[in-house]
Amino acid sequence: MTQVSVGMPRLRNDPAQAPTLAGRPDVSELVDRFGRVAHDLRISVTEKCSLRCTYCMPESGLPPIAREDLLTPVEIARLVSIGVRQLGIREVRFTGGEPLMRVDLEQIIGLSAEAAPGIDISITTNGVGLEHRIDRLVAAGLTRVNISLDTVDARHFAELTRRDRLDSVFAGIRAAHAAGLAPLKLNAVMMRSTLDDAPDLLAWAIENSCQLRFIEQMPLDADRNWTRDNLVTAAELLGKLGERFELSEIGRLDPSAPAEEWIVDGGPSTVGIIASVTRPFCENCDRTRITAEGTVRSCLFGDNETDLRPLLRGHADDDEIAQWWRGAMWAKQIGHGMDASDFRPPERSMGAIGG
């Protein structure tokens, strides 16, 4: 085991040893010891980003991953194929860092769509520069896009993201609509500096036919400034939105959906809140993650990772890789553990894991 810093993985496995599967039922899917089954695959494709959101990245960006350590489009598509054909994966989302920083994102999506026909392939993006690539991405096989937008106030956006790029995000949202990617979902992290902007953001989302979801800030910032005392909770946000809108609770649309939904002003518009900290949904989590370097991460908050890259680049066949992946997920921890007195944030920040 090597010394680690934020952005560097700690690897659990030694490719010479078999994965630990003791007690695991002999099923193909990605089950864990607590009865959960992962169907939703998140693959990070880069640590690079065009923004520097304070809740995620350090001002100087993450330590760069050497080119040869990043998974290639062919390797990514092979993992997608293994996930879908052997492990019960039903949807694939590319994230980062900022996925648009990969110049070969079209190829990643195209090869993945070929490897798993009929599967939903989406990206989570900050939207910067999306307008210039959306048509090629859709032609390659992109079926959905989630765009992160925390405020529609240009000054607050620039302060929060440390970049003055709000107009580019707006252009990306317009372009995604024009490309027919509906429903367009917007993600907004709830921060104290932008709390007063939340009603304007919701009004903007409704006017622009976007489905907005607010997310409680998790202790996954590279700068380690998160404190529970400064957290904007779902309850506080609801109070703020309630000053302008009439909200009626619907709840979760399906049990594995992290967002709880509210009808806005009698409908049809809704707003979602992902209360990851105050109302965690760990018991229904159905995610499995692959980092940009090819490690399986079973939980955002679990530092143990299982490295598939040596297997992909060695002589392992798909069955062997699938079995390692199953072993990684079998070891998934019960939850994020934020309420425990000995809780420590994970070594990797959100941008280094892939949100």
Applying CB under 6 A, which residues contact ligand SF4?
49, 51-53, 56-57, 96-98, 126, 148, 351
Contact between 73 and ligand SAM by CB under 6 A: the answer reads no
Q: Which is nearer to ligand SAM, 73 or 355 (CB)?
A: 355
- Tell me how far, at minimum, the Cβ of 207 lies from ligand SAM, in Å: 21
CA distances in angstroms from 227 to 122, 188, 349, listed in the order given: 32, 18, 15
How many residues belong to the site for ligand SAM (CB under 6 A)? Answer: 20
Task: Name which of residues 332 to 351 contact ligand SAM (CB under 6 A).
Answer: 350-351
Q: Per-residue DSSP letters for 157-214?
A: HHHHHSS--HHHHHHHHHHHHHTT--SEEEEEEE-GGGGGGHHHHHHHHHHTTEEEEE
User: Which option in ligand SAM, ligand SF4, none does residue 52 bind, with CB closer than 5 to 8 A by kind?
Assistant: ligand SF4
Tell me the three state secondary structure of residue 287.
Answer: strand
Tell me the three state secondary structure of residue 129.
Answer: coil
Contact between 56 and ligand SAM by CB under 6 A: the answer reads yes
Contact between 217 and ligand SAM by CB under 6 A: the answer reads yes
- Tell me how far, at minimum, the Cβ of 127 lies from ligand SAM, in Å: 8
Q: Which is nearer to ligand SAM, 81 or 276 (CB)?
A: 276
User: Which option in ligand SAM, ligand SF4, none does residue 220 bind, with CB closer than 5 to 8 A by kind?
Assistant: ligand SAM
Q: Checking DSSP bridges between strand 287-290 and strand 184-190, what pairing results, if any? A: unpaired
Nearest to 42 by CA among 322, 319, 285: 285
Contact between 96 and ligand SAM by CB under 6 A: the answer reads yes
Binding residue (CB under 6 A) for ligand SAM from 13, 81, 112, 124: 124
* Amino acid at site 14: D
Query: What is the DSSP code (8-state) at residue 235?
Result: H
Q: Which is nearer to ligand SF4, 73 or 351 (CB)?
A: 351
Q: Which part of the chain contacts ligand SAM (CB under 6 A), choosing from 64-72, 217-225, 278-286, 294-302?
A: 217-225
* CA dist., res. 130 & res. 259, Å (int): 25
Task: Label residue 128 exposed, middle or buried (CB < 10 Å: 0-12, 13-18, 19+).
Answer: buried
Q: Which part of the chain contacts ligand SAM (CB under 6 A), choosing from 4-12, 18-26, 122-130, 278-286?
A: 122-130
The two tokens of residue 244 are: 């302008």
* CA dist., res. 211 & res. 177, Å (int): 12
> What residue ranges bind ligand SAM (CB under 6 A)?
49, 55-56, 95-96, 98, 124-126, 148, 187, 189, 215, 217-218, 220-221, 350-351, 355
